[in-house]
Amino acid sequence: MKYRGYWLGDLTLSSFSEKAEVIVRAKRTGILPEQIDAMQLLLDMQDQIKQQATDAMFTLHEDIELMYENLQATEDIWKFLKLFQIEITDQHYYGEKDNNIAILLIFQSLWESEFCPAIEIKNGQCVAVLSGT
């Protein structure tokens, strides 16, 4: 990883079959143990996280009317998304009293390049699917 005001590298998540840029929001002195632990949880739980996010990602696409006839089942939604960035926050993402790290898996839609939804992960669990443009 290289430091550029944040730590930058890349990683392939087997559940999403994509090599993605990784951004870790940490100081030059190094990545925090809590950030490493959060990333390890992502690696260990990636299949479950994908499964947890599938229905919400499908619903998000329905809500913004970005559905096509060839999409028959919720499992198919991932064929139309490309994981391109993983962002690991610092320990204050959820506020000063909550020291949890958030990980955001940011995707680019293969249907609409301006649409970049994300999966928000906390403690190895999908907590939200976020719309992004």
Per residue in 47-99, pLDDT (tens digit) is 999 999 998 998 888 777 766 555 655 557 888 899 999 999 998 888 777 77
Range of the domain at 124: 2-130
- Looking at residue 51, its amino acid is Q
Q: Which residue has the higher pLDDT, 124 or 68?
A: 124
**What is the structure's pLDDT at 66?**
65
Cα separation, 116 vs 90, whole angstroms = 22
Confidence of residue 122 (pLDDT cuts 50, 70, 90): very high
54/66 Cα distance (integer angstroms): 15
Domain count, the chain: 1
